[in-house]
């Protein structure tokens, strides 16, 4: 059986050659692990590593008071307001996530003893000073989601570098420890990974949706770890078409995803990412769906519910990168 060390990064030789020539780490790879994924075993024999991700963004979204031309348009309340006009309804809907939703989700996680990763916008943390200390006290990870909802692909290199540094400094100040992970709000630029490596202190990024396992890419001549995220097992689909109509829809989709990954996990490791938002799943009925799902996988006994930094460090130890 081919091991992870026999097949570096799950790439064909041709794909590795192309990647080696790309210092930004953005060469497209259609091969991945292919038919020979690494035979890593999760802690305690778990079949699936479950990563609960809370996108904490409330207060960092686009808004006229913060100098944006318009308010954030994606969400439960949508109306085409004239440019430059405050959308007070949309603003208050976002405030719900910070005032109520985040605390409800934290209660759900604490009841199920589930440690999660917060994709945290630094400006949002600054505007809710109780939250940062609570995340650290309760054992949750603060992964950098940028300073605000910036579009990295529109930034100059100097602007993006400053965005990364401002986010790191603010999160460290608010939480009491610096972030080791990164996830862009609107998608990364082609240079984001290089800038993260140059900044230092980061262990992984999640700016990819292309696998069910962590993997390495070469950036500046060294291996860089990517923990892919998910757009399907994500509560943002309450607002998309086709999407989830009710909390039962979301719950059933999560169960179906987990069950399939669990079946595959008999042979190979699998990772499941679940994307949540405080203004969405922090609502009462939707929070209940998360509580039900956590109780379901706890009852099965074959899940490792872990923070993304824990998964990253475990993967790096059990499946270390090899030379290109």
Report how far residue 272's alpha carbon sits from residue 290's, in angstroms, rounded to the nearest whole number. Answer: 14
How many structural domains is the chain composed of? 1
Helix, strand or coil, per DSSP, at residue 127: coil
For residue 127, give every residue at least 6 positions away whose Cβ sits within 8 Å of its Cβ, in sequence order, or none. 58, 59, 98
d(CA 62, CA 95): 13
In degrees rounded to 5, what are phi and psi of residue 167? -65, -45
To which H or E segment does residue 23 belong? none
pLDDT at residue number 63: 86
Does the N-terminal peptide bond of residue 242 adopt cis geometry, omega within 30 degrees of 0?
yes
Closest CA to 60 of 98, 32, 117, 13: 98
Task: Examine residue 280 and state whether it is found in any structural domain, yes or no.
Answer: yes
Q: How many CB atoms lie within 10 A of CB 210?
A: 12
In a domain, 269, yes or no: yes
pLDDT digits (tens, 9 = 90+) for 210-220: 999 999 999 99
Q: What is the mean pLDDT of residues 11-22?
A: 50
Helix (H, G, I), strand (E, B) or coil at 204: strand
Does residue 131 sit within a domain?
Answer: yes
7, part of any domain: no
- Which tens digit of pLDDT belongs to each residue from 124-169? 999 999 999 999 999 999 999 999 887 888 999 999 999 999 999 9
Instruction: Decide if 91 is inside a domain.
Output: yes
Q: Does residue 233 surpass a pLDDT of 60?
A: yes
Note whether residue 67 is domain-resident: yes
Closest CA to 233 of 178, 182, 293: 293
pLDDT score, position 6: 39
Residue 247 in any domain: the answer is yes
Q: Does the structure show a pLDDT above 70 at 17?
A: no
Please report, for the domain that includes residue 187, its CATH number.
3.20.20.370
DSSP codes of every residue in 31-75: -TTTT-------GGG-SEEEEEEEEE-TTTS--GGGT-SS----S
210: containing domain: 42-318
Q: Which two tokens stand for residue 172?
A: 């460290």
Q: What is the mean pLDDT of residues 89-107?
A: 95
Query: Are the CB atoms for 90 and 71 separated by under 8 Å?
Result: yes
Q: Is residue 19 part of a domain?
A: no
């Amino acid at each position: 059986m081919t091991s992870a060390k026999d097949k570096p990064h799950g790439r064909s030789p041709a794909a590795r050659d192309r990647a080696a020539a790309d210092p930004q780490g953005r060469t497209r790879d259609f091969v991945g692990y292919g038919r020979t994924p690494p035979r890593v075993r999760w802690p305690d024999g778990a079949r699936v590593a479950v990563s609960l991700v809370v996108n904490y963004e409330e207060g960092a979204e686009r808004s006229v008071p913060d100098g944006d031309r318009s308010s954030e348009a994606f969400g439960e309340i949508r109306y085409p307001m004239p440019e430059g006009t405050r959308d007070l309804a949309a603003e208050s809907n976002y405030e719900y996530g910070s005032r109520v939703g985040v605390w409800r989700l934290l209660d759900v996680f604490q009841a199920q003893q589930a440690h999660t990763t917060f994709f945290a916008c630094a400006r949002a943390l600054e505007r809710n000073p109780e939250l940062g200390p609570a995340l650290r006290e309760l054992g949750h990870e603060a992964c950098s989601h940028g300073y605000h909802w910036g579009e990295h692909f529109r930034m100059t290199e100097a602007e993006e570098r400053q965005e990364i540094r401002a986010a790191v400094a603010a999160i460290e100040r608010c939480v009491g420890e610096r972030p080791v992970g990164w996830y862009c709000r609107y998608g990364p630029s082609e240079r984001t990974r290089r800038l993260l490596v140059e900044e230092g202190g980061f262990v992984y990024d999640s700016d990819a949706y292309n696998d069910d396992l962590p993997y390495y890419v070469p950036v500046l001549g060294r291996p860089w770890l990517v923990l892919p995220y998910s757009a399907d097992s994500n509560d943002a689909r309450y607002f998309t078409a086709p999407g989830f109509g009710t909390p039962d829809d979301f719950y059933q989709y999560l169960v179906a995803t987990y069950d399939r990954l669990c079946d595959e996990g008999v042979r190979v490791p699998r990772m499941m990412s679940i994307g949540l938002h405080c203004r969405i799943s922090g609502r009462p009925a939707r929070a209940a769906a998360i509580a039900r799902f956590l109780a379901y996988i706890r009852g099965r006994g074959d899940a490792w519910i872990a923070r993304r930094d824990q998964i990253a460090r475990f993967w790096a130890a059990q499946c270390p990168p090899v030379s290109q």
